Structure 1
Amino acid sequence: MKEQLARNISTYRKERGLTQEELAQTLGLSFQAVSKWENAQTMPDISLLPALSRTLQVSVDKLLGYVSQDKPVTVYEETYKTQEYYWGTVPNEVCYQVLQLMPPTKHVKLLDIGCGEGKDAVFFARNGYDVTAFDVTDAGVEKTKKLAAQTGVHVHVFKADIVDYRLDTHFDILFSSGVLHYIKPDFRQEIFENYKQFTNPGGMHVFNAFVGKPFIAPPPENEPYAFNWYSGELLAHYRDWYIRDSAEIVFDCNSSGIPHQHAMSKMIAQKISDIRV
């Protein structure tokens, strides 16, 4: 918990635009005290948590790393509460590339980051992968469990926010489709370093991200917590990995009932540790 709290204090302080000294002054402390918190050398006294929570504008639960939400972070929180599967149950096309590039001929651990209603996570489980998945919506987690049960497979699925969650165990494949835009630009480097650190040698990251284009209008959903990537940004995080596939596409979408377009960057990168000279 100490490391989680340290990271959250640093993250939410920066989101509020506060320096360590400014946060310390608000709490009546020295900036060294805040520095020690953020370096996980010490923890705040329990009596300071309410004031710290108010200053950073997050609940004590979220500050401590629990997944309860102060407010919805996605428009799909309500959308997923219907009986129907909003995205359907047909897997993303890139799932078939994963099957080709790293088939589960041995035990392969896969993490689906932001699994939505579970269609891709369940597809991977059906094909023999050991699947873990998380989503920020309660309804999405429940529908993933339901779809897995109906299909007769197991997916270890839980609720977590992509902004707060960090890996502490290794995986062979990290997969994410249409979710990375919820990571603010300031925190992408740190989050992706964590993802890379906890990927086994030879493992793969299979990601896509929405990119902003001046010739494409903003999507009709108008999500307040979404931040587009720019062309080439996703690829730049993997200059030390082997790039198996990289492409940028523009496609038509009717997900909200209003025809619109998206531009998306797709990347498949592999962690190669055997360097020959």
Structure 2
Amino acid sequence: MKLTFGKNISKYRKLKNITQEELASKLGITFQAVSKWETGQTYPDITQLPNLSDILEVSIDKLMGHAVYEKKVSIYEDEYARDDYYWGLIPSTMCYKVLSILPPAKPFKLLDIGCGEGKDAVFFARNGYDVTAFDIADAGIEKTKRLADKLGVHVNVFKADILDMRLDTCYDILYSNGVLHYIKPGLREEIFTNYRQYTATNGIHVFSVFVVKPFIPPAPENESNAHTWISGELFSHYSDWMIKECEEIIFDCNSAGIPHKHAMNRIIAEKIPW
């Protein structure tokens, strides 16, 4: 599931709202050269990499598809490092939706996007799904592995950043609960296009995302890398799929030890062949 160098250049260029012509001008080259980089026909000269990194404001490692984490990138890293489970061990109600809509009559391939400490991923594995999962928190990945081992199941879990991760393997089920707010608005269309592309025919997406409401105060965590969604935005990515369920809920939460509320959109959508 690696990004090519060219696709990374294109992605970060678009995030900066820079055209190929503008990037070429800043680098003193032709826009055709930039186009060839982005389509994978050629690669930049090594001497161009520092300038390219400065202009796009992204490290050379990330441009080349290697995520390097020099500091904690999740506020939950310390929470997950504790012996207890921050989110508990009871599976989300969304897990039971998956069981009812696409029960494991065969070992369907399921991807848990942002698995946290692994309670949902392990639940799916115990019920017969072929589960792959990723998260950005090292402590969460280790907890997922330990929980799977304890319960005698296998989960293919690894570390990845949702912003950099792109699929190149097809799945029957894509699942994510309360993680998609880490996707920057400028990347959402690209990422969801990738998710849709690598979903098997008659496969499903089961997603939830926090939405902003003027009558609900911001969450106490105040994460700098979280980005707001608006009501209905999640659903708009599935205009050509069968939307089996979509809903908006408001619920109480006690994360960070401070009682508060969240608004959330949930969707279950199926990829129907045309």
**Shorter-chain TM-score range:** over 0.9
Aligned residue runs from structure 1 range 44-193, under 5 A = 44-69=44-69, 71-193=71-193
Amino acid in structure 1 at the alignment position of 2:228: N
- 1:230 equivalent in structure 2: 230
Describe the SS at the equivalent of 1:218.
Answer: coil
Distance 1:2 1:172, change over 3 A: closer
Residue deviations 1:21-74, cap 9 Å, x none?
A: 333233332222222212222211223223322332222221111122355443
- 1:200 equivalent in structure 2: 200
Q: Report deviation, 1:2.
A: 9.4
Describe the SS at the equivalent of 1:193.
Answer: helix
1:32 counterpart = 2:32: yes
Residues in 2 aligned to 1:2 and 1:219: alpha-carbon distance in whole angstroms: 33
Describe the SS at the equivalent of 2:250.
Answer: strand
In structure 2, list runs of 5 or more residues that go unmatched: none
Distance 1:72 1:200, change over 3 A: same
Describe the SS at the equivalent of 2:125.
Answer: helix
Amino acid in structure 1 at the alignment position of 2:137: T
Contact in 2 for aligned 1:209/1:264 (Cα 8 Å):
yes
RMSD over aligned Cα atoms: 1.8
Residue deviations 1:205-254, cap 9 Å, x none?
A: 00000011111111111111111211111111111111111110000100
Amino acid in structure 1 at the alignment position of 2:103: P
TM norm structure 2: 0.94
| Seq. identity, % | 63
Residues in 2 aligned to 1:173 and 1:199: alpha-carbon distance in whole angstroms: 7
Residues in 1 aligned to 2:45 and 2:211: alpha-carbon distance in whole angstroms: 42
Contact in 2 for aligned 1:135/1:160 (Cα 8 Å):
yes
Distance 1:33 1:61, change over 3 A: same
Q: Report deviation, 1:109.
A: 0.4
1:21 counterpart = 2:21: yes
Amino acid in structure 2 at the alignment position of 1:50: P
Describe the SS at the equivalent of 2:238.
Answer: coil
Residue deviations 1:170-198, cap 9 Å, x none?
A: 11000000010111111111111111111
Contact in 2 for aligned 1:112/1:175 (Cα 8 Å):
yes
Amino acid in structure 1 at the alignment position of 2:184: K
In structure 1, list runs of 5 or more residues that go unmatched: none
Residue deviations 1:105-133, cap 9 Å, x none?
A: 11210000111111100000011100000
Amino acid in structure 1 at the alignment position of 2:149: A
Describe the SS at the equivalent of 1:153.
Answer: coil
Contact in 1 for aligned 2:252/2:260 (Cα 8 Å):
yes
Distance 1:215 1:87, change over 3 A: same
Amino acid in structure 2 at the alignment position of 1:207: F
- 2:10 equivalent in structure 1: 10
Number of paired residues? Answer: 274
Describe the SS at the equivalent of 1:65.
Answer: coil
Residues in 1 aligned to 2:256 and 2:102: alpha-carbon distance in whole angstroms: 34
Amino acid in structure 2 at the alignment position of 1:229: W
TM norm structure 1: 0.93
